[in-house]
Amino acid sequence: MAVSSPAAALAQAPLEPTRGTVLTDTLWSQALGTSKSLVVYLPPSYAANPARRYPVAYYLHGATGDETNWTTLGKIDQVMDSLVATGMPEMIVAMPDGDAYSYYTTYNVLLTEAGCRRLMLPPGGDAERDCVAWPHYDDYIAYDVVRHVDTKYRTVALRERRAIAGLSMGGYGAVMLALQYPNIFAAAASHSGVLWPLERAPASFRRGPLPRRSAADTATWAAVERRTAEQFRVVFGADSASWLARDPASIAARLRRSGAQQPAFFVDGGTDDVYQPESRAFVASLSALNVPVTFHEWPGNHNWAYWRAHVPESLSWIAARVAAPAPR
């Protein structure tokens, strides 16, 4: 009977999948007037190939979350490792701190620290962390974070190799940032995004039809509106100009009229998610503008069980657009 040598047995043993690296970084934000944390996923080949450069996907967290959510709750690093192991192109994934209720835009109201503590901190919130001097969160992401990542890491610093995604508040932020800065982001993905903020605007200056809701959904939505009303007044303001300036459908229409290059869009949400009517309304508005959008509805609700299950779809979609080999 033949006996396998230890070396032969080792050679036949399945290899552990190669893993990427997750690290925590800090950057200074001129737009916010403070330092912020940033979690970065570096792909498996990053350390071994010092001459190679990579596309970047930025992933934004939701309201009351932080920069660690996508790794600790979403397991996005493990998802990336698995996708890369099955042939998806490698990418850097950068996950910035967006504070509790920033909506990744510039506040319409400049708050004092006392006002921020009262209006913009969740229970147990950290004022030193979430109350910034200058709440210009759109410029913070599009300029400060992108510049830091392109300077410190081996990125392909081109619009065509850069995408942005997020969930809930971060889904809104991803779509709005791609629309506001189409020269910086080539693609945007929204999981369960807050994509029709005009639903919460004063009735006198709402534009277009409201998202369609069932009676049960309407009652749930009323509770959501009451819970977040103060934050929305701070961020979106009290006049039509401030709301329309922060409305994704309005910005998409303006960008379309300008003839500028449109980012690619991916939108999804759970069939039982109270925010899903907003995603449907936004997708309908893009379709009316003849702007292509990839849209999915899957069973699920507004929670991490849903986002963990479907972040592979957005990552794969993004990789196909910013990480695939350029056509010859």
Q: Does 6 fall in a domain?
A: no
CA-only gyration radius of the chain, Å: 21
CATH number at residue 41: 3.40.50.1820
pLDDT at residue 9 above 60? Answer: no
Residue 4 lies in a domain: no
Torsion sign, CA atoms 300, 201, 261, 174: negative
Domain assignment of residue 230, yes or no: yes
**Is 300 within the bounds of a domain?**
yes
The answer, yes or no, to whether residue 240 has pLDDT greater than 80, is: yes
pLDDT at residue 21 in the model: 97
Task: Please indicate, yes or no, if residue 317 is contained in any of the structural domains.
Answer: yes
| Residue 120 counted as domain residue | yes
61-119 residue pLDDT tens: 999 999 999 999 999 999 999 999 999 999 999 999 999 999 999 999 999 999 999 99
Asked if the structure places residue 9 within a domain, the reply is no
> Mean pLDDT, to the nearest integer, of 275-283?
96
- DSSP secondary structure, 88-146, as one string: PPP-EEEEE--TTT-TTSB-SS---HHHHHHHS--TT--HHHH--SS-BHHHIIIIIIH
Domain around 52: 17-323
- Reading the block at residue 127, the tokens are 């004022």
What average pLDDT does the segment 7-35 reach?
76
Q: Which of 68-82, 122-136, 207-221, 233-247 has the lowest mean pLDDT?
A: 207-221
pLDDT value for 326: 59
Is position 225 within any domain? Answer: yes
- Tens-place pLDDT, residues 315-326: 999 999 999 875
When divided into structural domains, the chain yields a total of 1
3-state secondary structure 18-55: CCCEEEEEEEEECCCCEEEEEEEEECCCCCCCCCCCEC
